[in-house]
Amino acid sequence: MPELNTSSLPDLIFSILFFFMIVTSMREEEVKIEYKLPQGTNLSKIERKTAVVNIYVGSPSKQYAQYGTGSRIQLNDRFAEVKEVRSFVENERNSMRQADQAVMKVALKSDQNVQMGILTDLKMELRHARALSLMYSADERNK
C-alpha cells in the first residue's frame, strides 16, 4: 500500500491559521468598571453588532480606584461625564457606515445596583443626541 503524501499539509494548516487571524476581531475596549447585569427572561441577541454603541455604567474596578467608588460612565476606554455622552454618540454615528447609521442602537450595560438618577440623566442626553433606540443588557434568568 502506498504512503500518503503529507508534504502540502503544513501549507494547508498555515493557510487556515492565516484565515482565522484575519477574520477574528479582538475586543476593542477595556471595561474599567465592575457591573453585574440584571437578570431577564425575554432576551434577544443583537443582529448587527457594527451598528451598536456600548455604554457602561457602574463602579470603577479596583485598579481604577482613583476615580472613586460612586457610579461612573465609561465611553469606549475612558470615563466620562453625562454631558459628554451626546458628542460621543454623534461621533460614533458619524464614524459608522451609512447603512448602520439608520439602525444604530445604544447598548446600555449597567450594574443592577446603579442609582436611577445617573441612568435618567444618561437617557436624557441620548434623547438629545437622537439616539432613541436603546437596549438594556441582561443575563438570562436561571429557570
Q: What are the tens digits of pLDDT across the range 28-79?
A: 677 888 888 888 888 888 777 788 888 999 988 888 878 888 889 999 888 9
48 close to 73: Cβ distance less than 8 angstroms: no
DSSP H or E segment with residue 10? helix 9-23
- Whether residue 143 is predicted with pLDDT greater than 60 in this model: the reply is no
Span of 39-53, 90-104, 111-125 with lowest mean pLDDT = 39-53
Question: Could you tell me the pLDDT band of residue 122, with boundaries at 50, 70 and 90?
Answer: very high
All cell numbers assigned to 111:
450594574
- Whether residue 19 is predicted with pLDDT greater than 80 in this model: the reply is yes
What is the rounded distance in angstroms from the CA atom of residue 81 to the CA atom of residue 125?
11
What is the rounded distance in angstroms from the CA atom of residue 138 to the CA atom of residue 110?
9
Sequence spans of domains, the chain: 30-140
Question: Please, what is the average pLDDT of the chain?
Answer: 86
Q: By C-alpha distance, which of 122, 111, 16, 103 is closest to 51?
A: 103
Mean pLDDT of 98-118: 89
- Predicted pLDDT of residue 27: 60
- What lies within 8 Å, CB to CB, of 104 at 6+ separation is 51, 52, 53, 92, 93, 96, 131, 133
Q: CA-based angle 46:96:126, to the nearest 5?
A: 70
- Predicted pLDDT of residue 26: 66
Half-sphere exposure of 136 (CA within 13 A, CB side): 15
Q: Is 72 helix (H, G, I), strand (E, B) or coil?
A: strand
**Residue with the three cell numbers 460614533:** 92
Mean pLDDT of 3-8: 84
What is the rounded distance in angstroms from the CA atom of residue 107 to the CA atom of residue 74?
12
